[in-house]
Amino acid sequence: MKTEQTDSIVIEQAKTSIKVPVIEIINLYKSFGSQEVLKNLSFKLFDGENLVVLGKSGSGKSVLIKCIVGLLGSDSGIINVFNQNILALNRKELDEVRQKIGFLFQSGALYDSMTVKENLEFPLRRMKKHLHQKEIDEKIIEALENVGLPEVIDKMPSQLSGGMRKRISLARTIVVDPRIILYDEPTTGLDPITSDEISLLINEVQKKYKTSSIIITHDIECARTTADRLIMLQDGEVYEKGSLTKFEKSTDEVIRSFFK
């Protein structure tokens, strides 16, 4: 009896220690004209983790996540999302993969001509076609409650503050239950208090929706709050990767310039 219990514990421990990659990037190259933005980039995002990608402006961070979601093509390399190389997919197959990926844009990218409710309804109607209006309404309210803004449902994006727009944008991302969320500089342009709130919200979303995330940022406080693991990009290449502790203890000048 005791042996069986021990065996089950060992199996459980083995299960948790196996890290399943949800995104795997192998030797990715991307250039615009003669300018090489990504050079031989390789890394993995594991299931359930928050991976923070650090780097200076122009280091290719935003280009990287736009390549992952298929908004930009690449010159060569492999981008496996749930074991499907998105660079080899047709439009229909790409749309199916995109239904599992949420993307939080740097500017929020809320549709100006639509109310908050319509903004959340738009992706739901296109990605979850089987849902009835009542279910759609319930999901919208749930997403807005999760970002703490149920009261702005009928407002226009122009009536919202920068922080509120980011929250609504996050609500629009999570409303379709994505398995991966790509955050493009989620705290840029926000005051320190709102930045902290957004960083905490990213953690809450990860716990509640069990998502895996890539967080592009150069905000160290956001990285400290959200990161399970970090990657630093420099001139389109992986300069360093590892845990937050490893980065904070690093004596490398480039890394130190971020973690002052």
Partner 1 sequence: MKIKIPVTKAKEIARIQALRLSEKTIARQQATSNFFTDIADVVLFISHLFKETFSRKFEVHEFFHQCFKIGYKSLPLISVTGTIMGFVLTIQSRPVLVRFGAETILPGMVAVSLIREMGPVITALICAGKIASGMGAELGSMKVTEQIEAMEVSSTHPMRFLVVTRVLAATLMIPLLILYADGLGILGSWIGANIKGDVSFILFFSQAFSHIGFIDLLPAVVKSFFFGAVIGLVGCYKGYNAGRGTESVGKAANSAVVLASLLVLIVDMIAVQITDMISK
Count how many residues are written for the chain: 260
| Residue 53 or 124 having the CB closest to partner 1 | 124
In this complex, which beta carbon is closest to partner 1, that of residue 98 or of residue 229? 98
The residues facing 46 across adjacent strands are 21
Question: Nearer Cβ to partner 1, position 84 or 106?
Answer: 106
Question: DSSP 3-state assignment of 120?
Answer: helix
Is 23 or 238 the residue whose CB approaches partner 1 more closely? 23
Report the DSSP beta bridge partners of residue 242: 230
Give min distance, CB of 8 to partner 1, in A.
41
Distance in Å, CB of 69 to partner 1, minimum = 6
Q: Please report, in angstroms and rounded to a whole number, the separation of the first and last CA atoms in the chain.
A: 54
> Looking at the chain, which runs of residues are DSSP E strands?
21-32, 35-46, 50-55, 76-81, 84-85, 101-104, 180-184, 212-217, 229-234, 237-242
> Nearest approach, Cβ of 31 to partner 1 (angstroms)?
18
**Least CB distance to partner 1 at residue 246 (A):** 32
| Shortest spacing between CB 36 and partner 1, in angstroms | 20
Cα gap 176→180, rounded to integer Å: 11
Contacts to partner 1 by CB under 8 A:
66, 69, 71, 91, 95, 98-99, 101, 103, 105-113, 122-123, 126-127, 176
C-alpha closest to that of 168 among 192, 146, 194: 146
When the beta carbons of 10 and 71 are compared against partner 1, the nearer one is 71
Exposed, middle or buried, 209 (CB in 10 Å: 0-12/13-18/19+)?
Answer: middle
**Structure token digits, residue 101:** 């990926």
The amino acid that residue 36 corresponds to is: E
Pairing of strands 50-55, 180-184: unpaired
Pick 21 or 123: Cβ nearer partner 1: 123
At its nearest, how many Å lie between partner 1 and the CB of residue 132?
Answer: 17
Q: How far is the CB of 127 from partner 1 (least distance, A)?
A: 5
* Beta carbons of 40 and 64 less than 8 angstroms apart: no
Output 112 or 151, the one with its CB closest to partner 1.
112
3-state secondary structure at position 175: coil
